[in-house]
Amino acid sequence: MLAAKVRIEVVPKADTSSLLFELNSTLKVKSAVDAAGKNLNYRQEGLNLQVEFLSPLPAAKPATITVEYEGTLATADGSPVENLKLAYVGPEGSYLLYPARWFPVNGYGVNRFAAAMRITVPSDDTVIASGTVSAPEREPGKVTYTYRFEQRSFPGTVLAGNYIVQPSTAVGADITLYLKKGHEQYAGSYGETAAKILEFYSLKFGSLPNRHLALAELDDSTVGGYSAPGLVALASRGFSAPVNYRLLAHELSHQWWRCMVSPATPDDAFLDEGLATYSAAMDVQEMAGENAFEDVMHEVEVGALTHEDMAPISQAGRLHEFTPEYESIVFQKGAMVFHMLRWVIGDDAFFQTLQAMAKEHAWGSISTDEFQKLAEKSGKQELTYFFAQWVSSTACPNSSARGRCIGPRTATRWWARFNRIWTSSACRWKFAFSRNRRGPSQSVWRWWVPRRTSPSTPGRAPCAWL
Ligand SMILES: [Zn+2]
């Protein structure tokens, strides 16, 4: 059972007479009042919560509303994602992930916010959340933790339960591990690995302003991992020997790509999950070498092909998070775009672009256009053709495109270049087409999918003309 009282401070961008939030539909609103304590009308329908103001709010003027609500978060019922439990409150440990909308959320994944949270739990429980924590206030049978996160980010994730708390012994790291009984032996290896990954990312992306990290175990009944500012949660199944460092690297990279810089709109989502997927691949390249990196990128490109005709990356807002389509287009194809961009502009310019993104947009958002400009500046070249082809279009070949395929001699040249961008298995999968022969800026790059083989079962035969 969750009972909550939330004071929300908003600054409207335009004059408004009502505010629309999303709230987990298992949670029932009991009251909504304004700053003067006057009752406000509200309507709760499914995931939507609309609160009406007594008089219209002028743009740019801060306003406050307080919402009280409660409900039982026991199953996936009421979750914003069908059949996926994102919040749970129970005696064996609780988790409230931001995607569960366990508090009224406006502009999910886009509108950044600061938060102060007072969380009361049974006295044996430890509470983990983003930001700085005050000394726990103990009363008979219960304890209250207060967490404050001052910067604008996405600090709305809370874990609570009977944890074994261990500071990491890794040199130079400021990491605390919160593991469940029976998993305490993973503290050493996961702390060490997390420290190494953070060091690698800091070198490549720029250092994190908030050094402290909580690495906590999450129940297996939900997602495999989730990252909030200063807090990385991995499901119990993510703890193993050897360390599942790809999962850890993915979640850690969100400290930069989401927590520090987030997409300006849901359509820019590949700058979050796509870049996190590619960051994890780069960490594999660093820790395990080129062959391991190629294996990861091969898996990513197969994943990218499974649903890529559903929508271009630039229309990710049409897709639903936690679905196979979202995974394919935003995570996997998104990661391929970064991989190709790295090849097109070169390593130095690529990492300069990521550093500029983290520095110039710190604690704020970035649009795809702004990202393109950063890449063009670092890469010293115009990249509209690249973003138009890979981000704004579905890179799905059709028969007419195949009919205009360029001749074998040029094909060899293009294929050689193309093959370096993708992996050694590229010829089985796709091919670069060119509208004319005047060079890269006029070329159109397309994926070529063999007709009689599905993306998950690569075939060799269709490569005959390479
Ligand atoms: Zn992610």
Please check the confidence at residue 80 and state whether its pLDDT lies above 80: yes
**Is 231 part of any domain?**
no
Please check the confidence at residue 419 and state whether its pLDDT lies above 80: no
Q: Please indicate whether residue 373 or residue 405 has the higher confidence score (pLDDT).
A: 373
Confidence band (pLDDT; 50, 70, 90) for 368?
A: very high
CB 355 within 8 A of CB 378: no
Q: How many domains in the chain?
A: 3
Q: How many angstroms does the Cα of residue 295 sit away from the middle of ligand 1?
A: 19
Please check the confidence at residue 343 and state whether its pLDDT lies above 90: no
Q: How many angstroms does the Cα of residue 160 sit away from the middle of ligand 1?
A: 22
Q: How many angstroms does the Cα of residue 98 sit away from the middle of ligand 1?
A: 13
Domain that residue 78 falls in: 2-162
Mean pLDDT of 164-170: 93
Mean pLDDT of 114-124: 96
User: What was the pLDDT predicted at 77?
Assistant: 86
425 and 455 in a single domain? The answer is yes
403 and 376 in a single domain? The answer is no
369 and 283 in a single domain? The answer is yes
**Is 333 part of any domain?**
yes
- The predicted-structure confidence for 147-160, as pLDDT tens digits, reads as follows 999 999 999 999 99
331 and 448 in a single domain? The answer is no
**Is 222 part of any domain?**
no
**Is 343 part of any domain?**
yes
User: What was the pLDDT predicted at 310?
Assistant: 85
Q: How many angstroms does the Cα of residue 167 sit away from the middle of ligand 1?
A: 25
371 and 434 in a single domain? The answer is no
**Is 272 part of any domain?**
yes
User: What was the pLDDT predicted at 209?
Assistant: 79
Among residues 380, 413, 432, the one where a domain terminates is 380
Among residues 115, 138, 162, the one where a domain terminates is 162
**Is 227 part of any domain?**
no
116 and 26 in a single domain? The answer is yes
Joined tokens for residue 417: 């270049």
Mean pLDDT of 177-202: 96
157 and 8 in a single domain? The answer is yes
Confidence band (pLDDT; 50, 70, 90) for 415?
A: very low
Of all residues in the chain, the percent with pLDDT exceeding 90 is: 71
Q: How many angstroms does the Cα of residue 279 sit away from the middle of ligand 1?
A: 10
Q: How many angstroms does the Cα of residue 332 sit away from the middle of ligand 1?
A: 11
Q: How many angstroms does the Cα of residue 109 sit away from the middle of ligand 1?
A: 12
403 and 374 in a single domain? The answer is no
CATH number at residue 118: 2.60.40.1730
Q: How many angstroms does the Cα of residue 222 sit away from the middle of ligand 1?
A: 14
If DSSP states are collapsed to H, E and C, what string results for 264-308? CCHHHHHHCHHHHHHHHHHHHHHHHCHHHHHHHHHHHHHHHHHCC
Of 259-263, 304-308, 390-394, the range with the lowest mean pLDDT is 304-308
Mean pLDDT of 188-195: 96
> Whole-prediction pTM value?
0.85
Q: How many angstroms does the Cα of residue 45 sit away from the middle of ligand 1?
A: 29
Q: How many angstroms does the Cα of residue 219 sit away from the middle of ligand 1?
A: 17
Q: How many angstroms does the Cα of residue 321 sit away from the middle of ligand 1?
A: 11
User: What was the pLDDT predicted at 395?
Assistant: 56
437 and 290 in a single domain? The answer is no
139 and 286 in a single domain? The answer is no
Among 389, 395, 397, which residue's Cα sits nearest to residue 450?
397
Q: How many angstroms does the Cα of residue 117 sit away from the middle of ligand 1?
A: 24
Average pLDDT of the chain is 85
**Is 225 part of any domain?**
no
Q: How many angstroms does the Cα of residue 171 sit away from the middle of ligand 1?
A: 27
Among 101, 149, 84, which residue's Cα sits nearest to residue 4?
101
User: What was the pLDDT predicted at 370?
Assistant: 98
Among 180, 214, 236, 219, which residue's Cα sits nearest to residue 73?
219
Q: How many angstroms does the Cα of residue 247 sit away from the middle of ligand 1?
A: 9
- The predicted-structure confidence for 284-300, as pLDDT tens digits, reads as follows 999 999 999 988 988 88
Owner of token pair 């074994």 = 164
Among residues 94, 127, 162, the one where a domain terminates is 162
Please check the confidence at residue 82 and state whether its pLDDT lies above 70: yes
**Is 120 part of any domain?**
yes
Q: Please indicate whether residue 234 or residue 91 has the higher confidence score (pLDDT).
A: 234
Q: How many angstroms does the Cα of residue 225 sit away from the middle of ligand 1?
A: 8
Mean pLDDT of 159-170: 95
Mean pLDDT of 2-8: 97
158 and 307 in a single domain? The answer is no
311 and 359 in a single domain? The answer is yes
CATH number at residue 375: 1.10.390.10
